[in-house]
A and B are shown apart, each in its own frame.
Chain A
Amino acid sequence: MTNPMLSRRGFMLRGLVGGTAATVGIPILDMFLNGNGTAYAATVGGGALPVRFGTWFWGCGMIPNRWEPKTVGANYDLPPQLEPIKAVQKHVSVLSGFDVNLDGKGNLPHLSGNTAVRTGAAADSWEAIQAPSFDVLIADAVGNGSFFRALNLSADGNPRTSYSYRNGSSMNAASPSPTDFYRQLFGLDFHDPNSAEFKPDPRYIARRSVLSVVAEQRKALVASAGAADRARLDEYFTSVRELESKLALQLQKPPPAEACVRPAEPAALPAGTDLTDTPTRLGQHKLMSGLLAMALACNQTRIFNMAFSAAASDLRQTGETTGYHQSTHEELVDRSLGYQPTVDKFTTQSMVAWADFVEALASVREGDGTLLDNCLVFAHSEVSYARNHDLAGIPVMIAGRAGGKVKNGVHVRGAGEPISRIGLTMQQVMGMPVESWGKDVMRTTKPVSEILV
């Protein structure tokens, strides 16, 4: 990838963020400081409608010969575990056979693979995660102009179920319920972009102006802190600045968004609802997907991360002693079927959820097409065959046309190529001037051109 800015100054971001392996041009600094991110938005899609990026996660992978299509290219076949995506297949590309290479490092079950997919470097403990997940890199680049830099959601009710992080100590916690998410998005701070009336509320002016008293404490505190503490304080003060810009946005009339309709407030779940029960989880996830789609249509964010289930999935069937994750390790392969039947059922249910998610975005009309057409969604798990935590061929699916930059409905076989190629592709499609991504053996300069228009 060529970028005039890169040849001018081959600046490394590496030292700034503590060991990340991304090589980017100098404008990254401007990008961080850019108050509206419009420079980048303009390069994406080329139209008036913003392109959004998001990730969708499910735990415990799949059974390769029940999930991987046999044919490549368009109109790929749907093996049994992919059968649920039939109705949305034209929106979904399948990327199989892209590997995580541990390069001699240990495989910490359910963590190593996931960190490699998300950061381009496998880490065998949370503390070892050094680089940001690439959704954070994309959010840093294009997330500035919207009210929320990024939105994180988990359908399992746990705010810790999030694979979006700046490093192992800084995880972006997820909104764990439809009610929590609704209050965050469509509560008192929400301005209907299509409302004719707009009067800047002085409360935002006041809230913003007092934050300067907080921000000005930085110098004294940072001066006396050790290096690691200083980095943590800097993260805090960056968060303060982010709220300041968010409050500033509240004083401008938001541009109209034709598809935006403030949704009805969802009812709270009855106390003690068991979200590990698969049908209950599917319902919760569907509700949250609909709210997220509306948050995107209302231009509240350009970046999102949705987790249907955690790594080492907690999905269960009520009344069974053994749930999804335990079954992957403990269930015998049925001799007549040739696979683990309980595991198969849970994986297929996870694909039902993925189809629900794609449908939620595709059902919102936007411009000449749909909201999904202006999205780029990267779906993945943390392993391929969960029974032995296999990191070869971790399943990935891409949905949405990214405003016309991406081809949908194809199957690409990676044949053992590093999975970091997909992360690099996502960053480049979102307009980032990144020429390589990943660390050591996972470093790559090759995007997955098969899905590019």
Chain B
Amino acid sequence: MKPRTILLAGAAALTAASMALAMTREGRADDAGTVTPDGSVRRLTEAQYRRVVADVFGQDIRVVGRFEPDKRVDGLVAVGSSMVSVTASGFDQYEGIARGIAEQVVDKDHRATLVGCEPAAGDTEGQACVSRFFAKVGPRLYRRAMAPAEIARFTAATLEAGRTLGDFHAGLATGLTAMLSSPEFLFRFERPAANGKLGGYARASRISFLLWNAPPDATLMEAAAAGTLDTPQGLATQVDRLMASPRFEDGMRAFFNDFLLLDDLDTLAKDSVLFPQFNANVAGLLKEQTLRTVVDLLVTNKGDYRDLFTTRRIAMHRALGPIYTVPVAGRDWTMHEFPEGDPRTGLLTHAGMLALHSHPGRTSPTLRGKAIQEALLCRKIPAPPANVSFAVVQDVNNPTLKTTRARLKAHLDDEECATCHRVTDPIGLALEQFDGVGQHRVTERGEPIDASGEFGGAAFTDAVALGKLFHDNADVSSCVVRTAWRYATGREPRAGDEPPIARLQAAFPKVGYRMTDLMRAIALSITLDPVPRAPASRQQVAIRTGVPPS
């Protein structure tokens, strides 16, 4: 043990030295940081990357290229973002995307507005111009203040590139490419202050990425620099400002997109012969429909999260008319209200949700039930046992077992299967009156479809009744709190995180389950509550010390 301790102590000493260095360099103590808990380095998602570029350089700069795929961990890409790095081929792609952006920034159409200066008489190489450019865009790309020495390094490298290329603007593009390929641009570093709480710029990024899915704006950066975010009052002022902005919708859309796995609709394919109504365009509109419905209820109308499961109000688009068999006038999105007694009520009956958790050629009560249990109820459904035959169950030509329900019921005769299927299937069977792309139906091969079942100890007759049970189920509302917290922090809760999560869950009913109040409370909690340390695993110690685990 002894050598290991010495090594760790050595690392700590090194850290203290670099901390002091960082403090002087950055001028602010709070962002300097000791060794941060794991999960404090999060890779920007593709959407966040695009947002930063658009905020700093404008909407007309095209971001072209293939990003490293995101990784979904326990239902959330946000959690996966603190576990992924950049592979060699991924870095190749990032550098290529960065070059594409940088070349546009310095091209003839943009340089006047985005660069705004050129080499001049007393500054033939353009040093002052380059330095000014990086001092302007650098802190916005890095989402923190930059020390003069950092600007100077990029400036020197850029001027050298300009000399090599014999072209000032080509050199500038090359230097900007390096900045856009830098770890501090591609990753979010959450540095705690010495008191264990998050530093100012880390707070600014946390609340802006949570509430806007975007980098901090100038006002927020100024607040971070001034230390305003270190006080609960100053932080609350900024949180309220961000939530009052139209951009709060973007933040909520990003959360629900991750929470409900809606990005999977982008690549969802259905059999074109069996479901000619479905295509890539429809899939994209189904995703948009759910997001617009969520925003209308929870942001625009500051609604109750539970009403998402019972509302008959839904965003509607003309191209979705055939799926929902409703006439839609006009070419724009409108809010549509299904009549009382209509089988469509609430999120569970959105065609996008129903299509997403079906097979390409037919429904799957098990896939639907599993997805709903995991995402909306925060329950983990184990993988099926490897050695199991589904043949009897899924024989669609079985003369006696005509409906999916009848076939699945036969499956329950096997006790090993039954333990999980009793959890997943009742919810899925309640949605059987909607086919593989979410179209309403009342029969399957001539037999009427029975959508009744039991959830949380209460019997229901169909999807509408199930939606009401979801509305009143405490697990449904506490699950969204936990998921939003994990989304906001980008990691799984540790022991010390449970009390704040429990407080958030207890407070949710008191604010009428209003999603806006929840997001506000989370924004404050994740910036003000101390960051608990994760105990280092044996393997992590091994990496740090170079001593392999035995």
Contact = CB atoms under 8 A, between A and B. Distances in A.
Interface of A: 12, 14-16, 18-19, 106-109, 112, 127, 130, 148-150, 152, 158-160, 166, 169-173, 175-176, 180, 184, 202-203, 205-207, 209-214, 216-217, 219-221, 223-233, 235-240, 242-243, 246, 271-272, 274, 276, 316, 318-323, 326, 329-333, 387-390
B386 A388 contact: yes
A322 B36 contact: no
B41 A233 contact: yes
A240 B22 CA distance: 23
B24 to A, nearest CB: 13
A212 B434 CA distance: 57
B549 A322 contact: no
A184 B158 CA distance: 26
B396 A221 contact: no
B536 A227 contact: yes
B35 to A, nearest CB: 6
21 contacts: A18-B542, A152-B89, A170-B84, A171-B87, A173-B89, A176-B66, A180-B66, A206-B164, A206-B165, A210-B177, A210-B178, A211-B178, A213-B154, A226-B536, A228-B540, A229-B38, A236-B183, A236-B187, A243-B88, A330-B394, A332-B395
A213 B174 contact: no
A319 B87 contact: no
B292 interface: no
Contacts of B36: 224-226, 229
Contacts of B89: 148, 150, 152, 172-173
Nearest to B395: A332
B279 interface: yes
Most chain A CB inside 10 Å of its own CB: which residue of B280, B362, B394, B395:
B394
B519 to A, nearest CB: 27
Contact of B273 (A112, A159, A233, A318): A318
A223 to B, nearest CB: 4
B340 to A, nearest CB: 35
Cβ-closest 5 pairs across A and B? A15-B548, A227-B540, A321-B361, A239-B91, A330-B394
B182 A19 contact: no
B359 A172 contact: no
B495 interface: no
Given A19-B539, A226-B35, A318-B271, 17 more contacts: A14-B548, A18-B539, A148-B89, A150-B89, A206-B165, A209-B161, A210-B174, A230-B544, A235-B87, A239-B90, A323-B361, A329-B390, A329-B394, A330-B395, A388-B388, A389-B386, A389-B387
A284 B171 CA distance: 40
B280 A321 contact: no
Given A15-B549, A173-B69, A323 B178 contact: no
Interface stretch (B11-19, B206-214, B423-431): B11-19
A210 B153 CA distance: 10
Nearest to A12: B548
A225 B38 CA distance: 7
Nearest to A318: B273
A390 B385 CA distance: 12
A242 B66 CA distance: 19
Contacts of B87: 166, 170-173, 235, 239
A237 B182 CA distance: 10
B34 A330 contact: no
Contacts of A388: 386-389
B541 interface: yes
A213 B539 contact: no
B517 interface: no
B161 to A, nearest CB: 4
Given A15-B549, A229-B41, A238-B88, A207 B174 contact: yes
